[in-house]
């Protein structure tokens, strides 16, 4: 990897929003539903390096990958290739530029034209760009098939006659045909078996070395990203929340979301020495992302409010109860939904978020199930004890005001007035993370984390900046 002054790609303030306004009612009410799939992303890709982009399903990775190459038109922002902004190019200019910038798709079968032979699939970019004809074209196709480890004598076969791994090799050969300098690889191995994954990753590494390629490598599997990347960007709800050299991102300090992804890797990562942390709640909708830090609705490291005298862990436990109360329909579902609503993110987990039936459920039976069944069966005292046990809260909070609010909230829960309980808790336990949209704070060489806790001037204990001011609200999308 060389350190050129101007990176091969420089992405600034990239946003891609989809209009998902749907149906008569939306139109009648003039209601626009914008999916903020990519919402202000910056990055650089240096010559000969691999930038891994990782995040859960739906966080905007594919939209980002396609927007960078203008396979989807971005809503705002710039993508500079060798200093020239791709977003300002005409279609013809962009087509010419595609010889430098190529894309490898996740699903090779659906991205390869089934009516073309392997040879024609690979030669298609040569034809489009008028790069070779006749015997020169045939020779180039044979050479490309050999380069990616396919038998050149199979050029007459159709895509369905190849295995999944071979089809991905075909996709890579097609991308290589125009001799590009950048390839955006969109989950190139996630549809493949583990052993085939390794072969394709090795092939990509060899090609990078042989041809000096630079990769943007999109994946939801942290282990894959760690294996292939020089630098890593962690994406959450359309934004980058952490960026840095791979070793730095895999070692503390972490963004709480990165920490959760790392702690969920099934086999302990040798570089991971933190405690396992568990994320609560579902991924919010990119149509209406949370104010402040987008991760605050699930964050296990939420910054306590400035007016709190509680220890941070106790404050967070009450905040977790507030969050749960705000999202539960009734007291019965306050804890009964836990298995369906709380997800531990797993590396490699692409379970649809919207289908509770197929979401991973917590296998551990919980003692709190009695609350979920019928709270009225328990006395107020027992009920209160169960709530405190469920949320790891002491018998009495060490702050009289907070204890009074919690007591009132538990009373309301016991009376099945869940809205009242949620409102009481939410007004008394507000985190600055709910207002403050964190920019990326430098935490090391080339390593940035978009989390208020990494602002040097912020006193986490006091919940204020050094001058006593509290974090203000901001609509700036400066993260990343």
Q: Which two tokens stand for residue 146?
A: 């050999």
Site size for ligand ATP (CB under 6 A): 15
First CA to last CA distance, the chain? 22
Span interacting with ligand ATP, options 50-58, 259-267, 407-415, 427-435, rule CB under 6 A: 50-58
Give the burial string for 185-196 (b: 16+ CB within 10 Å, else e): bbbbbbbbeeeb
Q: Which two tokens stand for residue 75?
A: 């809503």
Nearer to ligand ATP, 236 or 458 (CB): 236
Q: How many CA atoms lie within 13 A of 358 on its CB side?
A: 7
Nearest distance, CB of residue 252 and ligand ATP, angstroms = 25
User: What is the distance between the alpha carbons of residues 74 and 243, in angstroms, rounded to a whole number?
Assistant: 22
Task: Determine if 63 is a binding residue for ligand ATP (CB under 6 A).
Answer: yes
The answer for residues whose C-beta is within 8 angstroms of residue 76's C-beta and 6 or more apart is: 13, 14, 15
Task: Determine if 20 is a binding residue for ligand ATP (CB under 6 A).
Answer: yes
Nearer to ligand ATP, 60 or 159 (CB): 60
Nearer to ligand ATP, 235 or 328 (CB): 235
Nearer to ligand ATP, 42 or 47 (CB): 42
Task: Determine if 147 is a binding residue for ligand ATP (CB under 6 A).
Answer: no
Selected from 10, 15, 169, 220, the binder of ligand ATP by CB under 6 A is: 220
User: What is the distance between the alpha carbons of residues 280 and 392, in angstroms, rounded to a whole number?
Assistant: 14
| Number of residues assigned to the chain | 480
Nearest distance, CB of residue 203 and ligand ATP, angstroms = 22
Task: Determine if 219 is a binding residue for ligand ATP (CB under 6 A).
Answer: no
Task: Determine if 60 is a binding residue for ligand ATP (CB under 6 A).
Answer: yes
Nearer to ligand ATP, 37 or 122 (CB): 37
Nearest distance, CB of residue 79 and ligand ATP, angstroms = 16
DSSP-assigned beta bridge partners for residue 449: 242, 441
Selected from 10, 15, 46, 61, the binder of ligand ATP by CB under 6 A is: 61
Strands in 75-201 per DSSP E: 76-81, 84-85, 101-104, 182-186
CB of 61 within 8 A of CB of 55?
Answer: yes
CB of 322 within 8 A of CB of 281?
Answer: no
* DSSP alpha helix (H) spans, 430-472: none
Span interacting with ligand ATP, options 22-30, 53-61, 159-167, 322-330, rule CB under 6 A: 53-61
Task: Determine if 286 is a binding residue for ligand ATP (CB under 6 A).
Answer: yes
User: What is the distance between the alpha carbons of residues 339 and 278, in angstroms, rounded to a whole number?
Assistant: 12
Site for ligand ATP in 345-384 (CB under 6 A): 350
Nearest distance, CB of residue 72 and ligand ATP, angstroms = 8
Interface residues with ligand ATP (CB under 6 A)?
18, 20, 35, 37, 55, 57-63, 220, 286, 350
């Amino acid at each position: 990897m060389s350190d050129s002054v101007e990176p091969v790609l420089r992405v600034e303030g990239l946003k891609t929003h989809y209009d998902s306004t749907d149906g008569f009612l939306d139109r009648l009410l003039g209601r626009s539903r914008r999916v903020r799939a990519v919402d202000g992303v910056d990055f650089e890709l240096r010559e000969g390096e691999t930038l891994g982009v990782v995040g859960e399903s739906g966080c905007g990775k594919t939209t980002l990958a396609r927007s960078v190459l203008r396979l989807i038109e971005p809503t705002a922002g710039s993508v500079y290739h060798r200093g020239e902004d791709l977003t300002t190019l005409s279609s013809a200019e962009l087509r010419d530029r595609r010889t430098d910038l190529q894309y490898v798709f996740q699903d090779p079968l659906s991205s390869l034209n089934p009516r073309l032979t392997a040879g024609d699939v690979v030669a298609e970019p040569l034809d489009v760009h008028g790069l070779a004809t006749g015997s020169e074209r045939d020779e180039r196709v044979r050479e490309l098939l050999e380069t990616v480890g396919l038998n050149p004598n199979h050029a007459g076969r159709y895509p369905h006659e190849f295995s999944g791994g071979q089809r991905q090799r075909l996709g890579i050969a097609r991308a290589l045909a125009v001799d590009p300098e950048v390839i955006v690889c969109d989950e190139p191995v996630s549809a493949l078996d583990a052993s085939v994954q390794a072969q394709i990753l090795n092939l990509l590494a060899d090609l990078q070395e042989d041809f000096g390629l630079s990769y943007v490598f999109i994946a939801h599997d942290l282990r894959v990203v760690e294996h292939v990347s020089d630098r890593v960007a962690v994406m959450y709800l359309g934004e980058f929340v952490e960026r840095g050299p791979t070793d730095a991102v895999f070692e503390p300090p972490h963004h709480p979301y990165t920490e959760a992804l790392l702690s969920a890797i099934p086999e302990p990562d040798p570089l991971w020495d933190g405690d396992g942390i568990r994320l609560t709640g579902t991924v919010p909708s990119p149509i209406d992302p949370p104010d402040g830090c987008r991760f605050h609705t699930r964050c296990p490291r939420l910054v306590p409010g400035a007016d709190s005298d509680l220890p941070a862990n106790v404050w967070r436990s009450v905040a977790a109860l507030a969050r749960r109360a705000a999202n539960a329909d009734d007291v019965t579902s306050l804890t009964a939904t836990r298995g369906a609503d709380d997800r531990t993110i797993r590396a490699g987990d692409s379970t649809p978020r919207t289908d509770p039936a197929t979401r991973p459920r917590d296998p551990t039976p919980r003692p709190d199930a009695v609350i979920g069944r019928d709270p009225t069966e328990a006395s107020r005292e027992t009920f209160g004890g169960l709530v405190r046990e469920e949320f790891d809260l002491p018998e009495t909070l060490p702050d009289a005001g907070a204890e009074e609010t919690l007591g009132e909230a538990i009373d309301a829960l016991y009376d099945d007035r869940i809205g009242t309980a949620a409102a009481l808790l939410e007004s008394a336990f507000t985190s600055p993370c709910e207002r403050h949209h964190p920019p990326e704070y430098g935490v090391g060489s080339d390593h940035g984390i978009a989390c208020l806790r990494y602002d040097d001037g912020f006193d986490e204990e006091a919940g204020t900046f050094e001058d006593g001011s509290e974090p203000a609200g901001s609509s700036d999308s400066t993260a990343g």
